Structure 1
Amino acid sequence: MNIHTWHKESKKEWDDFAPKWVKNSQEMWETGSRKNIIPFFSDYVQSGLKVADIGCGDGVGSLKLAQAGFEVTGIDLSSVMIDFAKGKTVRHANLSFIQGDFNDLPFKDEEMDAAMVINSLEYTGEPLTVMKEIQRVIKPGGYMCVGILGPTAEPRKNFSYPRLLGDEVIMNTMLPWEFEKMATETGWKTVADTGVAKRGVDYTKLGHFSKDLKQAVSFMWLFLLQKEVVE
């Protein structure tokens, strides 16, 4: 599938999926798999800074970032998601949304202080291209918080597995360790990382496990990365 077709199919699938996503997104951010993302982000990124929420979906996470004191612009490929998201701008002055392509972000060079990219990089046709585009818009020393699905996370079954049956899919099978290696080889350094355990997994009992083994039983792995400053 070429990159143009990939984006066309991805937009269609997420436009179609948007109403179902909206039913569950609030719960995900408040009590589910995404509940610790904003606190994790806020531990390292100073409030008041400009943040791009890349793959913002219906904007629940973007709104929570704005409520935490950040100036937030959410961007998503799905115009239906953006329509849902725009309804949240009336609740906060420092919040806006744009429908757009991750390969050509609607920001100037080094315009943003940070980016949040949660479970969206996997759905791009050329993740490295998107990484370089994010790097373009982030200031030197700025931050990027990325969430990558764990190896057995349920969405992989729906969006990635069918490739083995010969179907065209819109998800890359990138694993957390692969993402981190790609990031550190392209101008980012890992500041912090943490796992979101799958249901039924107690991380407190896995203290002796290596990071890659903990990632194997994660639903998602969160990374906080910093853009290297070139002297």
Structure 2
Amino acid sequence: MNIHTWHKEAEKKWDDFAPVWAKNSQEMWETGSRKGIIPFFSEHVEAGAKVVDIGCGDGMGSLKLAQTGYVVTGIDLSHVMIEIANGNANQQPGLSFTQGDFYSLPFKDEEMDAAMVINSLEYTGEPLTVMQEIHRIIKPGGHVCFGILGPTAEPRKNFSYRRLVGEDVIMNTMQAWEFEKLALGSGWKEVAEIGVGKRGVDYTKLGHFSKELKQAVSFMWLFLLQKEGIQ
């Protein structure tokens, strides 16, 4: 599947899925798998920073960021997601949304202080190209929080498996360790990381496990990266 076709298929899939996603999004950010992301992000990025939420979906994460004190632009490939996000914005100061292409982000070079990219890089056909585009818009010394789905996360089962029977899919199979290698080789340095365990996994009992084994039982692995070049 070429990139143009990938984009069109991904846009259609997320347009169709948007209403279902929106029903569960608030719970995910407040009590579910995404509840620790904003606290993790805010440990490293100062309030008031200009942040882009890449793959913002219905905008719930963007709203949480803005309520925490950031100036936020949410961007998503799906126009339906953006319509829902605008409805969720509730005239929140410092929050806006736009439909856009992750391969050509609508920002100037080094315009943004930080970015949040949660479970969206996996839905791009050329992750390195997207990483380079994110690198372009972030100031030297700026930060990005990436969330990469674990190997047995349910979305992988829903989107990725069908490639094995010859179908075109809109999800790559990148694992957390592969992402880390990609990031460290393309102008980023790692600042912090944390795992989000699958249901039934108690990370407090896995202290002796290697990072790779912890990633294997994660629903998602969070990386906080910094753009190299800070003076």
Q: Does 1:8 find its partner at 2:8?
A: yes
Contact 2:110 2:138 in 1 (8 A): yes
Output the CA distance in 2 between the equivalents of 1:181 and 1:46: 27
Q: Which amino acid aligns with 1:30?
A: E
Deviation at 1:65, TM superposition (A): 0.1
What residue is the counterpart of 1:64 in the other structure? 64
With structure 1 as the length reference, what TM-score do the two structures score? Answer: 0.99
In structure 1, C-alpha distance between the alignment counterparts of 2:84 and 2:158, rounded to whole Å: 23
In the other structure, the counterpart of 1:177 is 177
CA contact (8 A) 2:59 2:89 kept: no
* Contact 2:49/2:113 (<8 A) preserved: yes
What CA distance in whole angstroms lies between the structure 1 residues aligned with 2:175 and 2:165? 20
Partner of 2:204: 204
| Corresponding residue of 2:82 | 82
Q: Return the alpha-carbon distance in structure 2 between the equivalents of residues 114 and 93 of structure 1.
A: 18
Q: Distance in 2 between matches of 1:187 and 1:197?
A: 28
Structure 1 residues 229 and 32 mapped into 2: Cα distance closer, same or farther (>3 Å)? same
Give how far 1:128 is off.
0.4
1:230, distance to aligned residue in structure 2 (A): 6.9
- Asked if 1:33 is matched to 2:33, the reply is yes
SS at match of 1:128: helix
2:103 is matched with 103
Deviations 1:16-47 (A, max 9, x none): 00000000000000000000000000000000
Amino acid in structure 2 at the alignment position of 1:94: G
**Number of residue pairs the alignment of both structures matches:** 231
Residue 192 of structure 1: aligned partner: 192
Map of 2:55 onto structure 1: 55
Report the CA distance shift for 1:81/1:154 in structure 2 as closer, same or farther (over 3 A): same
2: CA distance, partners of 1:70 / 1:40? 14
Report deviation, 1:90: 3.1
Q: Which residue of 1 aligns with 2:131?
A: 131
Distance 2:203 2:49 in 1: 32
Aligned partner of 1:79: which letter?
A: H
In structure 2, runs of 5+ residues without a counterpart are none
Secondary structure (helix, strand or coil) at the match of 2:103 reads helix
Runs of 4+ in 1 over 2 A off after TM superposition: 88-91
**Shift of residue 98, structure 1, vs aligned partner:** 0.3
Q: Give the whole-Å Cα distance in 1 for the aligned partners of 2:177 and 2:137.
A: 24
Per the alignment, residue 46 of structure 1 pairs with 46
Q: Please give the alpha-carbon distance, in whole angstroms, between the structure 2 residues aligned to 1:71 and 1:207.
A: 37
Equivalent in the alignment of 2:93: 93
SS at match of 1:75: strand
The letter of the residue matching 1:91 is Q
Deviation at 1:87, TM superposition (A): 1.4
In structure 2, what residue type is equivalent to 1:3?
A: I
Deviation of residue 93 (structure 1)?
1.3
Which residue does the alignment assign to 1:159? 159
Residue identity opposite 1:99 in structure 2:
Q
Q: Which runs of 5+ in 1 are unaligned?
A: none
Q: Are residues 1:168 and 2:171 paired?
A: no
Task: Assess if the C-alpha contact under 8 Å between 2:141 and 2:230 holds in 1.
Answer: no
- Using the alignment, how far apart are the partners of 1:229 and 1:90 within structure 2? 37
Q: Deviations over 1:165-223 (max 9, x none)?
A: 11100000000000011000001000000000000001000000010000000000000
Question: Could you tell me which amino acid in structure 2 is paired with residue 151 of structure 1?
Answer: P
- Summarize the Cα distance change of 1:34–1:230 in structure 2 as closer, same or farther, 3 Å threshold: closer
Structure 1 SS opposite 2:29: helix
